């Protein structure tokens, strides 16, 4: 590679050809695929919302049970060992 400025044009064809190598693995599989993203519908949004809210309620109930019930607290403590 030439340092500094020069009036001569430097050809870097070898570097360009190296960067255009065949892709392997997942990149090769996805090369020709076209992906389009569609927004979820109202029904799908509601389903995911109910799942998230339900799991949060279960988590809150388990935390309250952990703090208030000594047997459950001991169970969690012993399983966590």
Is the pLDDT confidence value at 38 over 60? yes
Instruction: Name the one residue in this structure whose structure tokens are 């001991």.
Output: 74
Please give the tally of structural domains in the chain: 1
Q: Give the residue numbers spanning the domain of 52.
A: 34-81
Residue 65: Cβ within 10 Å count:
13
Is the pLDDT confidence value at 28 over 60? yes
Is the pLDDT confidence value at 25 over 70? yes
The answer to whether position 68 is within a domain reads: yes
Q: What pLDDT is attached to residue 47?
A: 97
Average pLDDT, rounded, for the chain: 81
Share of the chain above pLDDT 90, in %: 48
The answer to whether position 18 is within a domain reads: no
Helices (H), the chain: 13-19, 26-30, 42-68, 70-79
The answer to whether position 19 is within a domain reads: no
The answer to whether position 67 is within a domain reads: yes
Prediction pTM value: 0.52
């Amino acid at each position: 590679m030439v340092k500094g400025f020069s009036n001569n044009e430097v050809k870097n064809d070898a570097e360009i050809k190296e960067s255009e190598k065949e892709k392997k693995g997942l990149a090769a599989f996805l090369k020709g695929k076209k992906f389009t993203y569609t927004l979820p519908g109202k029904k799908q949004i509601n389903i995911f919302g109910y799942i998230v809210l339900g799991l949060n309620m279960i988590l809150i109930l388990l935390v309250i049970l952990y703090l208030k019930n000594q047997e459950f607290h001991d169970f969690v403590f012993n399983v966590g060992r």
